[in-house]
Chains A and B, each alone.
Chain A
Amino acid sequence: MAFGWLPGAAGDIAHGAGTTILLIAVTTLAGTLLSILGAAGRRSGPAPLRHAIGWYVEVMRNTPFLVQLFFIFFGLPSLGIRLDPILAAMLAMTLNMAAYTIEIVGAGLDAVPHGQTEAALALGLRPRQVFIKIVLPQALKVIYPALTSQIVIMMLESAVVSQIAVRELTYEADMLQARTFRSFETYFVVTLVYLALSLALRRLLVSGGRRALGAGVS
């Protein structure tokens, strides 16, 4: 074991970690938004939309993320859609996460008692206001712990996007070990960085959730 290369590599590792954080930040926002729309559409949309969302969830949950990523990055250009590696990664991560969080958000929406909707309608709120102001905040509070876990899982899974040359943490590790010939040490250090990231991300989400929703995970 030798770690003499580490001081010179700190900048690359930090840069890679920054890209990983950017990826998961974009995915969290876009994925949560998409899953709220998806869950609402699956509950109260027209029948064809409900079926389409149902199949979307099944297909994404029963195929590997790596294959979805390759399909989007290598497959879509043959339909004339050519994406930057980082955009393809964000798209694949968002679509993948949404498939899991649509189910989670849906369970949260089901957990809000129907009386809440009726009370809000009786007070004269429009249906859209009822959903956004009354039902959704309560649902998010219930599902917040599950949502947090899913975000952390997605962050760990983002290591795979190094395979389409997105310069995130794993990609930097691949480059470093090719330069230093210290493969084990490099991946060991980067694994610790991932561990620290996942602990920090969880803590951030818990404290953020407490503040915004009054919800948290233990």
Chain B
Amino acid sequence: MIEFTLWDIVRNLLLATRWTVLLSLAAFVGGAVVGMAVLFFRISKNKWSRRLASGYIALFQGTPLLMQLFLMFFGLPMLGLRIEPWTAAVLGLTFFASAYLAEIWRSGVDALPLGQWDAGASLGLHYLQELRLIILPQAFSITRAPTVGFLVQLIKSTALTSIIGFEELVRTSNAINNATFEPFKVYGLVALIFFLMCFPLTQYARRLEKRAATR
């Protein structure tokens, strides 16, 4: 048996953390792009677009992320696509994030007084200009705290991709645990690493919330 020192364990976990960070960022950026598209449907003037977007959001918020990842992992090969755990993980988390981000931003759009739309229209702006220049900047600004809060949730959610075989922090820790038989130490360290990533963001979200409340 190979002897693992504490430093060996920490070093391997930190190397795996890179993948957790990269996956979180990729899913957040991808989720923001797709989420924008869902948001456009969700606030559109067409009733059927709105319903379609609501259904999309309800579907992702009403089923376990683990199932979404499995469907991605086993479903895409049926469409003839060769798929690796990394692709399934990024795509699965992207769609998951898009539903939540669209809903968060939609709440921001709804919170704006209707006069903002009227003012835009009276300045002669058309729909897309109103969105780009008046509505969306304000909607993003007032939903900054829940958006950061969701990023924390997304980082924690990357742990599930270990189950479909993506080599991130948790999967690496399982392998280390199988070699060292020190679950208390290994999973404790993993929890600590996640905490160090998430806690500053949580605090940041809380500060944003407080600032928004006093304004």
Contact = CB atoms under 8 A, between A and B. Distances in A.
A95 to B, nearest CB: 13
A71 B63 CA distance: 25
Interface residues of B, number: 37
Given A71-B183, A187-B71, A187-B74, A63 B156 contact: yes
Point out which of B158, B163, B177 has the most chain A C-beta atoms below 10 A from its C-beta. Answer: B163
Interface of A: 58-59, 61-68, 70-71, 74-79, 152, 156-160, 162-163, 170, 173, 177, 183-184, 187-188, 190-191, 194-195, 198-199
Given A62-B198, A66-B160, A67-B194, A78 B184 contact: yes
Given A75-B187, A75-B188, A184 B202 contact: no
B202 A62 contact: yes
Chain B binding surface SS class? helix
Interface string B95-116: 0000000000000000000000
Contact of B183 (A70, A157, A163, A183): A70
Nearest to A72: B187
12 contacts: A62-B202, A66-B159, A67-B187, A70-B183, A71-B191, A76-B184, A77-B183, A78-B182, A78-B183, A156-B63, A156-B64, A160-B66
In the A-B complex, the 7 residue pairs with the smallest Cβ-Cβ separation, listed nearest first, are A74-B183, A64-B159, A159-B64, A62-B198, A183-B74, A64-B156, A75-B184
Contact of A67 (B65, B182, B190): B190
Interface of B: 59, 62-68, 70-71, 74-75, 78, 152, 156-160, 162-163, 170, 173-174, 177, 182-184, 187-188, 190-191, 194-195, 198-199, 202
Contacts of A66: 159-160, 162, 170
Nearest to B198: A62
Contacts of B156: 62-65
Contacts of A170: 64, 66-67
B178 to A, nearest CB: 10
A122 to B, nearest CB: 33
A188 B78 CA distance: 13
Chain A binding surface SS class? helix
Contact of B191 (A67, A158, A190): A67
A58 B202 contact: yes
Given A59-B195, A63-B194, A74-B177, A190 B187 contact: no
A173 B71 CA distance: 12
A63 B195 contact: yes
A91 to B, nearest CB: 15
A149 to B, nearest CB: 9
A20 to B, nearest CB: 10
A71 B183 CA distance: 7
B106 to A, nearest CB: 16
Given A78-B184, A159-B66, 14 more contacts: A61-B198, A62-B198, A64-B170, A70-B173, A75-B187, A75-B188, A78-B182, A78-B183, A156-B63, A162-B66, A170-B67, A184-B78, A191-B67, A194-B67
A184 B157 contact: no
Contacts of B162: 66
A68 B152 CA distance: 16
Contacts of B62: 152, 156, 194-195, 198-199
Contacts of B187: 67, 70-71, 74-75
B74 A63 contact: no
Nearest to A198: B62
Contacts of A59: 191, 195
B195 A62 contact: yes
Contacts of A76: 184
Nearest to A76: B184
Nearest to B162: A66
Contacts of A177: 74
A67 B156 CA distance: 9
